[in-house]
Amino acid sequence: MTKLERRNLFKGLAFLSPWLIGFAVFTLLPIILSFYFSLCDYSLLQTPVYRGAENYRTLATDPVFWQSMRVTAKFALLALPSGMILALILALLLNVKIRGQSIYRTIIFLPSLVPAVALAMIWLWLYNPKLGLINLGLRHLGVSSPPGWLSDPVWSLPALVLMSLWGVGNTVIIYLAGLQDVPADLYEAASLDGAGTLAKIWHVTIPSISPVIFFNLIIAIIGTVQQFTLPFIMTPSGQPARATYFYTMYLYDNAFSYLKMGQGSAMAWIQLLIILALTGIAFWTSKRWVYYQGK
Amino acid sequence: MSMAAGEKISPSEDRTKKAWLAHLSLIIICLLMFVPFLWMVSTSFKTLDKTMEYPPRWWPKPFAWRNYVDVFFSEKVNLLLWTRNTLIIEVLSVSGTVISSAIVAYGFAKIQFKGRGVLFVIMLSTMMIPFPVTMVPLFTIFRWLGDHTGTQWLGTFKPLWVPTWFGQAFSIFLLRQFFMTIPDELSEAARIDGCSEMGIFLRVVLPLAKPALVVVALFAFMGTWNDFLGPLIYLQRPEQFTLALGLQNFQSQQGGTDWNYLMTASVLVILPVLTLFFLAQKTFIEGIATTGIKG
């Protein structure tokens, strides 16, 4: 290493030092500690006692753990596809050259700005079985006994999915940005071949923006697996019938309500592995359907 | 792409069958998207007994504008205190994020040194690690700090803002991308003039990077404003609650009956975010379009 290289290395690390320290203390150390705690009996008040894979074995036979896993998976299977398809449809509509386009765009984007706690309050009120706007509307339309939404175990999870669609504007914006990069000559070529609007969307638009779809998918996966604030506020403990007891809610309860820090850490590690695996699968399968221009 | 599309749209273009279809579906969707806002604002101006009125009125009678004074001074809803607490954390964490991330981003963008690429990839990958994964060990780390440094950490604002002074991955990434666009000739010239590295950073790069710093500050503000899980874990006494935590606590304590106050408080929580959005619309949209991350 020359003298200049050494000096640059020193200078570079000096500038990076806040992050290097922060990474070590607030990211790397917690991840290592989390793994160690996951192998321990640790109630926060006592020092951790090593127990091997005990926590993981307990979780494997814990019906509540599997319930929280099922709830999260069910939510993901309902919310991810519906949200991504709705967002794509909205983006295509918002990309049509019409007057008032900017007003439409703003209105559709606004709900995604609403902070989670306010969002929870608004929808708790909308879903209120007796006085909420949704059931008032349904009764007005002649539905004599509309669902109890969040107080009905059959409807509470679908209610959360429906609510998540209100905040789809974020994803729409990312799609819209992607749509601007679709080369115009591809559409012209498709027109010459006699393609209609739907054929153009299917054969030109969707393949062209597939990297954006892929990007949205990963963001959505990571977000869904950590779903916490909304179900925690709107359906405490996932009640009734733990129908909305998400994975992160059980993790939180284990660690901070029952003070089973070891069990909570085991859940954290499983969550980390699930996210890595899902993202990995998304990357791996993307080779089949993601089309990058110029490649 | 922008919300306020500057393109001129000719009347003939606006009258095609496709345009009519887009108008029709967008009007219906926008109405659906906007109704929850109207319902919230309408309820926020109602007296408590009028929230239970059937059929409900969209235009409240009497018009209870007093709700907006009451929520600041009532025993149960202590909006004034919660806002103060939130703003203290905002000031400390927004300045922390901007200052530390800018320093680190400069190291990544403008100093050539061995291992920079690897460190950058590590930093990017930390963006994927969700908070629930590290929250249990972070809690024990802050407890340990409280026991060993003589200052209390848990039950104070510190766990919420101190980590922001060690660089935040997403902000570092954004700033680094921006710094890369500033020509190296500028910093080289300053270097030849005998300017120190810190001097180049402060006097050459930072003044040129104001727009990017604003974006980072904006997103950091939104992140803190929306944060619920952090305050939930670290704050213990009601007099320390943030807006998000206080509002949730109020709702769960009283079992969700004072809907007028809850909606008034929700309007007030949303208002600053909407104001920021309309002031910095372009910044928001571009930020989301390039990163997919909201706040």
Report ipTM (2 d.p.).
0.91
Domain with A254, as residue range(s), is: 56-289
pLDDT above 60: residue B197: yes
Dig out the tokens for B93 from the structure. Answer: 């964490």
The CATH number covering residue A197 comes to 1.10.3720.10
- Please give the biggest Cα pair distance in chain A: 83
- Among residues B28, B53, B71, the one where a domain terminates is B71
Tell which B residues from 181 to 200 touch A, by Cβ distance under 8 Å.
197
B77 with B58, same domain: the answer is no
The CATH number covering residue B265 comes to 1.10.3720.10
Indicate whether B201 belongs to any domain: yes
The tens digit of pLDDT for each residue in B246-287 reads 999 988 887 657 899 999 999 999 999 999 988 888 777 776
Residues of chain A with Cβ-Cβ distance to B270 below 8 Å are 113-115, 118
B62 with B89, same domain: the answer is no
Indicate whether B282 belongs to any domain: yes
B180 with B167, same domain: the answer is yes
pLDDT at A293: 63
Q: Is B239 in the A-facing interface, judged by CB distances under 8 Å?
A: no
The tens digit of pLDDT for each residue in A186-228 reads 888 998 988 888 898 999 999 989 888 888 888 888 888 889 9
Indicate whether A262 belongs to any domain: yes
Indicate whether A17 belongs to any domain: no
Indicate whether A30 belongs to any domain: no
Distance CA B169, CA B127 (A): 6
pLDDT above 50: residue B12: yes
Residues of chain A with Cβ-Cβ distance to B252 below 8 Å are 233, 236
B81 with B181, same domain: the answer is yes
B244 with B130, same domain: the answer is yes
Greatest mean pLDDT among A156-165, A236-245, B204-213: A156-165
Indicate whether B3 belongs to any domain: no
Distance CA A293, CA A40 (A): 50
Residues of chain B with Cβ-Cβ distance to A279 below 8 Å are 128
Question: How many separate domains does chain A show?
Answer: 1
Indicate whether A251 belongs to any domain: yes
Indicate whether A5 belongs to any domain: no
DSSP per position, A75-131: HHHHHHHHHHHHHHHHHHHHHS--TTHHHHHHHHHGGGGS-HHHHHHHHHHHT-TTT
Indicate whether A142 belongs to any domain: yes
B212 with B201, same domain: the answer is yes
Lookup result for tokens 């400390």: B92
Indicate whether B243 belongs to any domain: yes
Indicate whether B6 belongs to any domain: no
By Cβ distance, the residue of A114, A166, A248 closest to B270 is A114
* Neighbour tally for A206: CB within 10 Å: 16
The tens digit of pLDDT for each residue in A131-151 reads 899 999 999 999 989 999 999
Indicate whether A274 belongs to any domain: yes
Question: How many separate domains does chain B show?
Answer: 2
B29 with B140, same domain: the answer is no
Distance CA B108, CA B205 (A): 13
B205 with B255, same domain: the answer is yes
Indicate whether B2 belongs to any domain: no
By Cβ distance, the residue of B35, B51, B140 closest to A131 is B51
**Residue B144 in contact with residue A25, Cβ under 8 Å?**
no
B188 with B133, same domain: the answer is yes
Mean pLDDT to the nearest integer, B114-127 = 93
- Among residues B71, B90, B118, the one where a domain terminates is B71
B49 with B96, same domain: the answer is no
B115 with B152, same domain: the answer is yes
User: Which of B9, B133, B173, B233 best tests the A interface by mutation, with the highest count of A CBs <10 A?
Assistant: B133
pLDDT above 80: residue B2: no
B150 with B278, same domain: the answer is yes
Residue B19 neighbours by CB under 8 Å, 6+ apart: A96, A97, A98, B13
Domain with B38, as residue range(s), is: 11-71
Indicate whether A140 belongs to any domain: yes
Chain B nearest-CA residue for A172: B289
What single-letter DSSP state applies at residue A211? H
The tens digit of pLDDT for each residue in A252-294 reads 999 999 999 999 999 999 999 998 898 888 888 877 777 776 5
Q: Given pLDDT bands bounded at 50, 70 and 90, which one contains residue B291?
A: low
